[in-house]
Chains A and B, each alone.
Chain A
């Protein structure tokens, strides 16, 4: 059995901290686990922490977009936090912009962004 990414519950937010480079199976497991947990816990927000990732390629980018879309369908807003400068620069050079994914500098601001999102209703971006 492969490693699973832990999903932590804080109030009505689920925190997913990605600490290792993801493989295909882990991503599928994560999507499975997360959608189940959102339904179980009636979470209203998901925070994905990628501060440990040194490399974010189109694969990870697509995964983030997929997770955000899944969560949105289930009624939870997603925010990606902790992107490193080098990662942001690489993504720009690759021509990826993580469209449709909300981002924040760190966990604290990420939670703030989720609060705003909830008070304002879904913001299209």
Chain B
């Protein structure tokens, strides 16, 4: 039974191939309203129609079967491109669903109608598939961007000979702390720096969690043998820190980066002087 219907369907689709493709292209072009060139749409849809026809002929109505491999890969590509160009999943799926609309006028007998119903099930399935791919592509884009953001938002800059600064922008979570720490420690090593200044002017709020992460960073820098100062504490944040009872212990904190830099320079000068009064060697 199912086999007859798919045969019937193949016949129907083959007979009216040119007409159907033309109408389909016309409808899709009108829904996408000039955001894609007519040539692109024509190429995509002609390929898709051909692939669909081949798949129906070889694999019947089992859309998850092997025969639909090519259709699926075409749909994946289409839906990916559309997702990148900013089309909504609906717009992508509707391009496929509009093929139903194309077929409707061509139905003449009850057999046609029942074949059409089967075909529409196939199209529904494939439509859902495009939505799936669309969502997946979007997620890939989002995670790639999050990664880029992580890289971008944690620069370590050399402020002076032996002094490196980390201007933190945005909230500190454990993943970011890890990246910041890694970069800071590595640059201490690379630049032979004895002082590190962590500037938190760009951190919107400091809670116990964020403070914990800051402390970790400072302790790690200290263990490498560098002095660490936290700067850029805004009045509001100073109040929050005290209200929450966060203890920074013996870590030096300064209101502005300039203060911290002055402090670090003074410390370096002091160290140089004390080291000069008769050496050990």
| B-binding residues in A (CB < 8 A) | 10-13, 44-45, 79-81, 83-85, 88-89, 91-93, 97-98, 103-106, 109-116, 118-120
Contact = CB atoms under 8 A, between A and B. Distances in A.
Contacts of A11: 280-281
A115 B185 contact: no
Interface residues of B, number: 27
Given A10-B281, A118-B280, A92 B219 contact: yes
Contact of A83 (B194, B216, B225, B281): B225
Contacts of A111: 280-281
Contact of A105 (B219, B224, B278): B224
Interface in B200-252: 216, 219-226
A98 B223 CA distance: 7
A51 B50 CA distance: 65
11 contacts: A11-B281, A80-B225, A85-B186, A85-B188, A89-B220, A92-B216, A103-B223, A105-B225, A115-B279, A116-B275, A120-B274
Nearest to B275: A115
Contacts, number: 83
Nearest to B222: A103
**Which 10 pairs from chain A and chain B are nearest by CB?**
A85-B185, A104-B225, A103-B225, A11-B281, A88-B220, A115-B275, A105-B225, A92-B220, A88-B223, A116-B274
Interface in B166-195: 178, 181-182, 185-186, 188-189, 192-194
B interface, over-half SS: helix
A106 B192 contact: yes
B192 to A, nearest CB: 6
Greatest chain A CB density within 10 A among B182, B189, B280 is at B280
B277 interface: yes
A95 B225 CA distance: 17
Interface of B: 178, 181-182, 185-186, 188-189, 192-194, 216, 219-226, 271, 274-275, 277-281
Given A89-B181, A89-B185, A92-B220, A81 B225 contact: yes
Contact of A13 (B178, B225, B280): B280
A119 B220 contact: no
Contacts of B219: 92, 97
Contact of B185 (A79, A88, A114): A88
A27 to B, nearest CB: 20
Nearest to A102: B225
Nearest to A116: B274
Greatest chain B CB density within 10 A among A45, A88, A116, A119 is at A88
B275 A112 contact: yes
Contact of B182 (A80, A85, A91, A112): A85
Contact of B225 (A44, A92, A109, A114): A109
Contacts of A10: 281
B207 to A, nearest CB: 19
A13 B274 CA distance: 18
